[in-house]
Structure 1
């Protein structure tokens, strides 16, 4: 699954990107704004999608001067399905945090990093997770395997786990390890689900 655009698993067309933009916008916006925020599709392509979605009633269109403003119709019977698709990334973060919280030896720190955290990967990208454990309590093999298999079932992606002790992480930090910089810049704390690490 492309964690940066998980709705594409179900709606691979431009429609998915347009619906995501309108779901997140929370206010009426123009077709040009939709295209810019979607970062894909041409202006005519987005206009075609907006017309089609307006015809179905899942979005509304209202003229405002020379522009047309589009907005999500959250009362539409199909809108809850859109909300689920748009919320897949948040659901992944929640599930990861919940699963890690059940471990026999709870980690000191767990961080999603790499393309999954930055939102710039693709369907073949790994789900990169840093696990820092206390020096005297490494995660068990069954816990590690449960995490790997859960990520694969939930996303179809491979889990790339970096498991280090607290003292090793401290050493990596002092030595200026590039992984530490990457995690500080892009990492998402899985204990808090959405907070940046750095």
Structure 2
């Protein structure tokens, strides 16, 4: 489940999901479908906007989400959205017992499969 299908969204999701720091190379290993240069451009732009903080470490830069930024709590919430949704569905699985619950479960099929309804 993705709110934005851009490099920005993927980079922010990784940074929001961890308290640690990430180099461009480390992010590229996690987000291999995006080019390292594309990730670097996103990080530069997000740093200029203040959403991401950077520190020079040797010859590289280390990046982290600026958790003091006005939008940080919303970025973190969006990054956790799929996990929260799946946990909610799993907790309510007992409520889905019986034919009516089965129909409801089938309507939510994409979510139950953990693939957001996308098929290969």
Normalized per residue, the structure richer in helix is 2
1:14 counterpart = 2:36: no
Q: Deviations over 1:42-96 (max 9, x none)?
A: 1111100001111111110111221111011111111122112211221122121
Work out the number of aligned pairs and report it.
Answer: 116
- Is 1:157 the counterpart of 2:117? The answer is yes
Q: Which residue of 2 aligns with 1:147?
A: 105
Q: 2-side partners of 1:92 and 1:151: how far apart?
A: 13
Indicate the structure whose relative CO is greater, using CA pairs within 8 Å and at least 6 residues apart.
2
Alpha-carbon contact 2:7-2:39 (below 8 Å) kept: yes
Relative to the length of structure 1, the TM-score reads 0.52
Which of 23, 37, 43 is the equivalent residue of 1:44?
37
Tell whether 2:55 aligns with 1:67: no
**Root mean square deviation of aligned Cα:** 2.3
Q: d(CA) in 2 for partners of 1:59 and 1:156?
A: 28
Paired residue secondary structure (1:101) = helix
User: Could you say which structure has the higher strand fraction?
Assistant: 1
TM-score norm. by structure 2 comes to 0.82
- Asked which structure has the greater CA Rg, the reply is 1
Q: Where do 5+ consecutive residues of structure 2 fail to align?
A: none
Native 8 Å contact 1:99 1:147 kept in 2: no
Structure 1, unaligned runs of 5 or more: 1-5, 104-138, 159-198
Deviation at 1:148, TM superposition (A): 2.0
